Each structure stands twice: as structure tokens, then as C-alpha cells.
């Protein structure tokens, strides 16, 4: 059993479950973890076009403090091989996926996206 829930270098995908005004997701790499707070550097993804629900990555890298116990967040640990710069969103057969375009993809609709 690990002493901590996250370790520096792990990559995570964060969804804001109850955000009604703007769909925001975050993909980043954990720098540090302490007392249920993670310091993570990565990219914010927002819905660019509400009509098509198209997600786009904001160009600037950000460092966020993420409360791991926040009930409004869904936090997924990504495979180690995923490169943050490769992450993007794609729609296939009316399903929304977040993917690295190589070997990894995750169905976002599983988490209540509509």
C-alpha cells in the first residue's frame, strides 16, 4: 500500500461534475501532494462551442491546487505514457472521448457529459 494517494510525476484528468455554466476539464502532472491537496501543472480544456460541445485546450500551462476530497470533482489517473501535450477530445458515434491519439482513450460520457 502506498503512503500517499498520488505521487509526483503521475498524470491526472479532472472533471468538474456540477459545473453548469462552463464545461471545464483539466489535465496535468502532479508536482506534490499533501493533506488531500495536490499541486498539479497542466492544461485547462473548455467548451469552445456550446452548440457542438467541442472542447479546446487553452494554450497556457497552469499550476492548480486541487482538493482531492472535493465532491464536485472526478479525478482519473492517466497512464504514465500519456504526454500532456498530446491530449485532446474527439467525438465518435455520439460519444465524447479524451485521448492521446495513440494508445489511450477514455469515454467522458461515462461521467455524465451531455
For residue 109, tell me if it sits in a domain: no
For residue 88, tell me if it sits in a domain: no
Per-residue burial over 58-86, b if 16 or more Cβ lie within 10 Å, else e, is eeeeeeeebeeeeeebbbeebeeebebee
Total structural domains in the chain?
Answer: 1
For residue 97, tell me if it sits in a domain: no
Q: Given a cut of 60, is residue 20 above it in pLDDT?
A: no
For residue 96, tell me if it sits in a domain: no
pTM of the full predicted structure? Answer: 0.85
Q: How far apart are CA 4 and CA 1, in angstroms?
A: 9
Q: How far apart are CA 97 and CA 112, in angstroms?
A: 12
For residue 107, tell me if it sits in a domain: no
In terms of residue numbers, what domain contains 19?
A: 11-83
Reported as a pLDDT band with limits 50, 70 and 90, residue 1 is very low
Count the helices and strands in the chain (H runs, E runs).
Answer: 0, 9
For residue 106, tell me if it sits in a domain: no
For residue 66, tell me if it sits in a domain: yes
For residue 18, tell me if it sits in a domain: yes
Amino acid at each position: 500500500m502506498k503512503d500517499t494517494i498520488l505521487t509526483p510525476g503521475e498524470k491526472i484528468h479532472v472533471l468538474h461534475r456540477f459545473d453548469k455554466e462552463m464545461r471545464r476539464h483539466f489535465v496535468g502532472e502532479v508536482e506534490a501532494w499533501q493533506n488531500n491537496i495536490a499541486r498539479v501543472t497542466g492544461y485547462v480544456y473548455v467548451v469552445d462551442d456550446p452548440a457542438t460541445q467541442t472542447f479546446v485546450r487553452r494554450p497556457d500551462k497552469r499550476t492548480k491546487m486541487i482538493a482531492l476530497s472535493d465532491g464536485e470533482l472526478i479525478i482519473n489517473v492517466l497512464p504514465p505514457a500519456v504526454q500532456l501535450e498530446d491530449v485532446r477530445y474527439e467525438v465518435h458515434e455520439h460519444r465524447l472521448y479524451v485521448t492521446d491519439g495513440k494508445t489511450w482513450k477514455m469515454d467522458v460520457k461515462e461521467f455524465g457529459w451531455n
